[in-house]
Amino acid sequence: MSVNVKRGRPPGMMDVARLAGVSHQTVSRVLNEHKNVSEQTRLKVRAAIAELGYRPDRAARALVTGTSKVIGVVAQNSSLYGPASMLTAFEEAAQATGFAVNVGSVRSLDERSITEAVERHLDQRVAGLVVIAPVASAGPALEHLPADVPLVTIDGDPERSSTLVTVDQVAGARAATQRLLDAGHRTVWHISGPSDWFDAAGRVRGWEDTLTEAGVEIPPLLTGDWSAASGYRNGQLLARLPDVTAVFTANDHIALGLLRALNEHGRRVPGDVSIIGFDDVPEAAYFTPPLTTVRPDFAAVAMATLDLLMAQVESGPAGVGARRTIAPELIERDSVAGPA
């Protein structure tokens, strides 16, 4: 397996063919695992490939086939734990199947930005597209793209997207809310994510539904923006209301901010107030106290996405949109107790 040391362009199929004493087409066949190639020539070609250190040129292949082994991902350029986790999980999964991942981050998820990012990917002749589009405004951008490009949306609009993978936000929120109710709390407050996020909306719904079914009073909804800062701001308010004994926050970072606000006001967790978060960020176990939270399985989301995408890549964009929902899991730690 000697390295090619010649100058100039790297070796091409022709060079391999010459060395192996066959035609370039035969080399192509070996490369693409065609059936009708004799074992003998296959070996000769393989040997020549190894000797020259030949590597097929992806660009040339993309040119003629009209598609590449690259998947374009459109994601928001943020350090939000959820989206970021999905992204890296997806990358890893895609690489395992021989696909490269092209990330087109986008500053905000408005229609224009997404459209641009999608078009950049289309220029690269990506084999498929994954859009992490958790907000409503992302919807329209995906309506008008070529129908023949495989597309899977993560956390997109359940009403529009044809092929969708989502975490079951409602179920997660229900589990959290119910857990708090079961602990004996009269009701449960909620600090939500931004209202235009589907994730946030789903968590709100799960929370409301559970409360309604329990026949319990529904406290006013507080709105955050996923940040610890917003949890802190809302916490300043909550800390002053003595009858607040249980809070479900839309994510762990909000919970962290809330924790600090509560702490500053001398309210103990879980002694005075119980809290459940969402996401299970790696640090959640080391909050003070360790946070009970809902863990979405991002790896599973990534798998499902890849799965759905590959199905389309292989057989043309699937007809009716396939859906895949990943059920999250409640992780019990120390931030929940009964009311005083």
Q: Which residues contribute to the site for DNA (CB under 7 A)? A: 9-10, 12-14, 21-26, 28-29, 31-32, 35-38, 40-42, 54, 56-57, 60-61, 63-65
On the CB side of 245, how many CA atoms lie within 13 Å of its CA? 15
7 binds, among a copy of itself, DNA, none (CB under 5 to 8 A by kind): none
> Which residue, 12 or 140, is less far from DNA as judged by CB?
12
Reduced to 3 states (helix: H, G, I; strand: E, B; else coil), residue 118 is helix
223 binds, among DNA, a copy of itself, none (CB under 5 to 8 A by kind): none
Nearest distance from C-beta of residue 274 to DNA, angstroms: 59
Nearest distance from C-beta of residue 281 to a copy of itself, angstroms: 8
Interacting residues of 197 by C-beta distance below 8 A, sequence separation 6+: 134, 135
> Which residue, 55 or 186, is less far from DNA as judged by CB?
55
> Which residue, 175 or 250, is less far from a copy of itself as judged by CB?
250
97 binds, among a copy of itself, DNA, none (CB under 5 to 8 A by kind): none
Nearest distance from C-beta of residue 123 to DNA, angstroms: 9
| Nearest Cα residue to 194 out of 42, 317, 82, 72 | 82
Interacting residues of 153 by C-beta distance below 8 A, sequence separation 6+: 130, 131, 132, 133, 142, 161, 163, 164, 165
> Which residue, 177 or 234, is less far from a copy of itself as judged by CB?
234
Nearest distance from C-beta of residue 271 to a copy of itself, angstroms: 14
Nearest distance from C-beta of residue 100 to a copy of itself, angstroms: 6
Structure tokens at 295: 């863990």
> Which residue, 77 or 223, is less far from a copy of itself as judged by CB?
77
Q: How far apart are CA 88 and CA 306, in angstroms?
A: 13
Label residue 33 exposed, middle or buried (CB < 10 Å: 0-12, 13-18, 19+): exposed
Q: What is the largest CA-CA distance in the chain?
A: 86
Q: How far apart are CA 39 and CA 245, in angstroms?
A: 73
* Binding residues for a copy of itself (CB under 8 A): 3, 9, 55-60, 62-63, 66, 68, 70, 77-79, 81, 84-85, 88, 91-92, 95, 100-105, 107, 119-120, 122-125, 144, 227-229, 231-232, 253, 256-257, 259-260, 263, 282-283, 285-288, 290
> Which residue, 1 or 64, is less far from DNA as judged by CB?
64
The answer to whether 87 and 75 have CB atoms below 8 angstroms apart is: yes
Helices (H) and strands (E) in the chain, counts: 11, 12
Nearest distance from C-beta of residue 72 to DNA, angstroms: 18
Nearest distance from C-beta of residue 278 to a copy of itself, angstroms: 15
- Nearest 5 degrees, angle CA 226-CA 153-CA 88? 65
> Which residue, 92 or 196, is less far from a copy of itself as judged by CB?
92
Interacting residues of 337 by C-beta distance below 8 A, sequence separation 6+: 183, 270, 271, 274
Reduced to 3 states (helix: H, G, I; strand: E, B; else coil), residue 288 is coil
Nearest distance from C-beta of residue 262 to a copy of itself, angstroms: 9
> Which residue, 67 or 325, is less far from a copy of itself as judged by CB?
67
